[in-house]
């Protein structure tokens, strides 16, 4: 059980760390900086396995006419896809549309099975809440997606001591 808990703690730290990085770019920088090309390959790790975003802001150089808000919304969508990728151990890569189309209870059972959660209710609930954030971020309508600050707030509520 210790391995499962530490594996899950690492996944939670990775997802929350990416959200914190995006929140910094979107909300703390002035002017805000959309990442513009967020994907799992643009996340590097320091010696303590804390995620660091790379290659951000390059879209502003190559496509300066796309409004920052649109690019931030696309960042959110791709962040949701990264959550799905982490939760599924890489099986749901670039799968926002697939996840939205699949019945949520089926998707949840697949993710629980992939993470070998079994009857551990606290982990089941945490994964369910994290999946909810991923599904909110990958909504097809940009106006129905949360801001990265809202997503981070939801994820931060999952942090356990």
Q: Which residues are the active-site residues? A: 37
**Please, which residues bridge with residue 43 across strands?**
53
The candidate with the shortest Cα–Cα distance to 133, out of 90, 77, 68, is 77
Q: Please, which residues have CB within 8 angstroms of residue 151's CB and are 6 or more apart in sequence?
A: 19, 76, 79, 133, 136, 137
Bridge partners of 51, per DSSP, are 45
Helix (H) or strand (E) holding 17: helix 2-23
């Amino acid at each position: 059980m210790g391995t499962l808990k530490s594996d899950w703690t690492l996944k939670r730290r990775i997802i929350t760390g990416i959200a914190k990085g995006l929140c910094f770019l979107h909300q703390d920088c002035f002017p805000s900086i959309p990442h513009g090309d967020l994907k799992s390959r643009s996340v590097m790790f320091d010696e303590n396995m804390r995620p660091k975003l790379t290659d951000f802001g390059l879209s502003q150089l190559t496509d300066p006419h796309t409004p920052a808000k649109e690019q931030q919304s696309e960042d959110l969508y791709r962040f949701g896809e990264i959550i799905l990728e982490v939760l599924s151990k890489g099986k749901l890569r670039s799968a926002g549309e697939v996840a939205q189309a699949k019945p949520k209870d089926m998707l949840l059972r697949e993710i629980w099975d992939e993470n070998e959660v079994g009857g551990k209710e606290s982990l089941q609930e945490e994964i369910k809440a994290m999946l909810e954030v991923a599904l909110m971020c990958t909504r097809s309508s940009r106006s129905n997606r949360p801001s990265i600050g809202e997503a981070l707030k939801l994820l931060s509520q999952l942090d356990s001591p």
